[in-house]
A and B are shown apart, each in its own frame.
Chain A
Amino acid sequence: MERYTKTAILLHWLVAILIIAAFFLGLTMVDIKGITPTKLKYYSWHKWLGVTVLWLAVVRALWRINHAPPRHPAGMAAWQVKAADAVHYLLYFFIVAVPVSGYLYTTAAGVPVVYLGIWQLPALFEGTPELKALFKPIHYWLTMAMAAFVVAHVGAALKHHFIDRDGVLKRMLP
């Protein structure tokens, strides 16, 4: 069975781990009542994770241009091929859209991102309470939509592995 390249596998799992970490950190930090040092730390870490996902997404996209993914297994139903492709492209979209919306949200809140506490990233516009209120639900719902597609992606991978036993999951395992 044709496998993904080592680089693609590494990038896939790295991004997966970072996204899951950012997701649960995000849910945890917003539940902390009031303002505590822990909460502020989690917010910063959450933003750093998001920025890391974003630039890794760029690396992945560049890699993908010259490295086509393995073909779908023969005998997969046409609708499944279409659905698999659609989910993959949607995931790529969310990998970019979710961090970008978070970046716009924190910019709108007037809080610039200082990546890893070292590099201050540019603010694209001046924050206002109205823009903050606009971007907050956008970031939240893009995230939740992404979570739904991640569940579909994981579910499909497990179905291929345990039910179809067609080696689809194995080509992405390290």
Chain B
Amino acid sequence: MKQRVLLASLLAVSLAASATVLKTDAAKSTVSATFKQMNVPVEAKFKKHNIVIDYNDKAPETSKANVEIDTASLDLGDADMNKEVAKKEWFNAGQFPKATFTSTSIKSAGPGKLSVTGKLSIKGKAADVTFPLSVKADGKNQVFDGSLPIKRLAFNIGEGEWKDTGMVADEVTIKFHVVAAP
């Protein structure tokens, strides 16, 4: 009996030390792209995303993050625009339905701050990126916020006549707001 209790507590300790996969609240979490179109600021949300965060606040370096975004789900507030961005010139959602991010390293960067490095793949192009992510507890939930600036042309987003950065700026910021429960 004593042994069992010991075993159980040991198991509990070892479980606590490893990262746990959090349950992402998809409805409260957002992934958006912010950019300028003829200097007009545009913020558009990706309606469909699958975010898996394997997080350990005691040992952040054991954490992992995996993000999948449906490229055709970008909502620009206009049906024609939404159709346009799924086209070959933009996301080519037919051939590349998902944009993904997979972390390779997560480091603590001070209290409530993480530095996340990983592979970002959009439209068949991959790039290693590092960006800051903040984390804070909100009741039982963990809330992650981060933004990642990218250049759209590095991923061939906006081909042909859309390459003109005077029309749509090259700089795009991807913003994450993830609410996850243990």
Q: List A residues at the B interface (Cβ < 8 Å).
A: 34-37, 40-41, 44, 109-114, 117-118, 120, 127, 129, 132
Residue pair B81, A110 in contact (C-beta under 8 Å): no
Are A110 and B37 in touch, CB under 8 angstroms?
no
Report chain A residues within 8 Å CB of B40.
44, 111-114, 120
Closest chain A residue, CB of each to CB of B84: A35
Whether A37 touches B162, Cβ cut-off 8 Å, given contacts A110-B77, A111-B40, A127-B77, is yes
Assembled-state Cα–Cα distance A109/B78 (Å): 8
User: For chains A and B in complex, what number of residue pairs have CB atoms within 8 angstroms?
Assistant: 41
> In the complex, what residues of A have CB within 8 A of residue B78's CB?
109
In the bound assembly, the distance between CA atoms of A140 and B11 in angstroms comes to 69
Q: Which positions 20-46 of chain B face chain A at CB distance < 8 Å?
A: 37-42
The smallest beta-carbon distance between A135 and chain B, in angstroms, is 14
Tell me whether chain A's interface is mostly helix, strand or loop, or mixed: loop
Q: How far apart are the CA atoms of A24 and B83 in the complex, in Å?
A: 26
- CA–CA, A113 and B164, complex, Å: 20
CB distance from A102 to the nearest CB of B (A): 15
* Given A34-B80, A34-B83: A120 touches B38 (CB 8 Å cut-off): no
The 6 closest A-B pairs by CB, nearest first: A35-B84, A117-B39, A114-B39, A44-B38, A37-B167, A114-B40
19 pairs, CB–CB < 8 Å, chain A vs chain B = A34-B80, A34-B84, A35-B81, A37-B162, A37-B164, A37-B167, A40-B38, A41-B167, A44-B38, A109-B77, A110-B77, A111-B40, A111-B42, A112-B41, A114-B40, A118-B39, A120-B41, A127-B77, A129-B77
Which residues 71-94 of B sit at the A interface, judged by CB distance below 8 A? 77-78, 80-81, 83-84
Q: Does residue B138 face the partner (Cβ distance < 8 Å to A)? A: no
Determine if B38 and A114 form an interchain contact, defined as CB atoms under 8 angstroms apart.
yes
Q: Across the interface, which residues of A come within 8 angstroms of B83, CB to CB?
A: 34-35
Q: How far is the CA of A41 from the CA of B41 in the complex (A)?
A: 15
Residues of B within 8 A of A35 (CB): 80-81, 83-84
Tell me, in angstroms, the Cα distance from A36 to B40 when the chains sit together. Answer: 16
In the complex, which of the residues B38, B42, B81, B167 has the most CB atoms of chain A within 10 Å of its own CB atom? B38
Interface residues of B in 127-182 (CB under 8 A from A): 161-162, 164, 167
